[in-house]
Amino acid sequence: MSPIEFKGEEFAFIDWIRRQTAEAAGRLIVGPGDDACVIDPGPDARVALTTDMLLEGTHFTLSEVTPAELGHKAIGVSLSDVAAMGMTPIACVVAVGLPDATDRAFTEAMYHGMREIADRFDVSIAGGDVTSWRASQVVVCVTALGRSTSTAPVLRSGARADDVIVVTGALGGSSLGRHVRFIPRVDESLAICRDFSPHAMIDISDGLSSDLAHVLVESEVGAVIDAQQVPVSGDAVAASRADGRSPLTHALDDGEDFELLVTLDAADAERLVADAPFETKVTIVGRIIEGDEMRLREVDGGERVIQPGGYEHLRGD
């Protein structure tokens, strides 16, 4: 057996934080480790909170991204996390750190980018903080709130052996522009939760291989990914021509696709693929198995164990 193993320090640090958090205390229902925490504000309601920080030089480069695109991405990544819980985003608060010399036109354009994507999903930008500093980089931190009244949140920990794994959209090559122009799959998530019975769900932010691995570890199961079924984007093909890595590798590992990965029983998965209640393409990419391995079924039918290959912060190298 080859248990899933994350390299670097990021996920070890997250695990340490989780062990410091008493999930049973107070109103906290779901603590650190999923796409958002969930709190109980009272009878018949659930509230999700999630925070994402974007750093210039890591998550965006201003020579390649407009201020409006930066604003769009900053709100979009947090809405994507709320969607991954099967919940409805309702509001955001935004904290921005700007170099001292930043002009008003930049901040206004960034705000308009935020408002455009927030308004699309009827989400309020409810407040926040703007400050300046002597560094030359821009930092944007968004906290999003979501709610659910009719269904429980969909967690990473609910996958079951014999579940089918589906993903929305196409994967890989997001750095060619989709990582700042994506539309978070809020409507798709809500439709799936309304019309089907998802067992586990996550958004693909770190890469298919890494985000599926999160589900497997939390659910204490394994998986087989079918290489022939992974929906490879045209951007992944273009990126492959530039760097020589295969389109499939890009689709598995690039990250920042912000699509949904969902596990369901076979009947629900087949019905979803055949008659999705939205236009976004849905593809079956594999199945959940007993054990603790993540395996890739090659085109020739052979299988090999793979490890998470997506982006990791705090890599320790």
Query: What does the DSSP 8-state code read for residue 236?
Result: H
pLDDT score, position 24: 43
C-alpha distances in angstroms, 251 versus 77, 78, 115, 175, 272? 19, 22, 30, 12, 22
Residue 198 has pLDDT above 90, yes or no: yes
pLDDT score, position 10: 59
Residue 9 has pLDDT above 90, yes or no: no
pLDDT one-digit tens code per residue, 283-295: 999 999 999 999 9
Residue closest to 140 by CA, chosen among 199, 187, 70: 70
| Length of the chain measured in residues | 317
Phi, psi of 97 (to 5 degrees): -110, 120
pLDDT cut 70: percent of the chain above it? 90
pLDDT cut 90: percent of the chain above it? 73
d(C-alpha 189, C-alpha 123), whole Å: 16
Residue 1 has pLDDT above 80, yes or no: no
Q: Residue 27 — very low, low, confident or very high, per pLDDT cuts 50/70/90?
A: low
Winning range, highest mean pLDDT, from 40-49, 148-157, 227-236: 227-236
Identity at 43, one-letter amino acid code:
P
pLDDT one-digit tens code per residue, 74-97: 999 999 999 999 999 999 999 999
> Which pairing describes strands 260-264 and 37-42: parallel, antiparallel, or unpaired?
unpaired
pLDDT score, position 277: 97
Identity at 196, one-letter amino acid code:
F
Residue 13 has pLDDT above 60, yes or no: no
Contact 167, 285 (CB under 8 A): yes
Quote the pTM value.
0.88
CATH 3.90.650.10 correct for 156-305: yes
> Which fold is adopted by the domain 21-148?
60s Ribosomal Protein L30; Chain: A; (3.30.1330)
Q: Residue 22 — very low, low, confident or very high, per pLDDT cuts 50/70/90?
A: low
Do 21-148 and 156-305 come out as alike in CATH topology? no
Q: Where exactly are the structural domains of the chain?
A: 21-148, 156-305
Q: Residue 256 — very low, low, confident or very high, per pLDDT cuts 50/70/90?
A: very high
Lowest mean pLDDT among 33-42, 108-117, 151-160: 33-42
Query: What does the DSSP 8-state code read for residue 239?
Result: H
